[in-house]
Amino acid sequence: MTETVATIFLIALAIYVLLGLFFYAFFIKSGVHKIDSGVKEAPIFMKVLILPGTVALWPILLKKIRKGEAS
């Protein structure tokens, strides 16, 4: 029973992270400019730096993009 719950949890976590990675690819190309226009000239280091946060918080960032909110 415990192994089944752990397996389901890990599969759900893996799906969440994969969705976050797909969102990150979209977010870097076009979405980040809708939230912060100053990122247009950002170096690649900054884009790599925000990868973990974007993957973890992608539902919140998606809502901000849809609303057009600036942070």
pLDDT in tens, 10-39: 999 999 999 999 999 999 888 888 888 778
Amino acid at site 17: V
- Count structural domains, the chain: 1
Q: Which two tokens stand for residue 11?
A: 């599969």
DSSP letters along 25-37, please?
A: HHIIIIIHHHH-G
Q: Residue 41 is part of which domain span?
A: 2-67
Question: Which pLDDT value is given to residue 18?
Answer: 98
Q: Global pTM?
A: 0.82
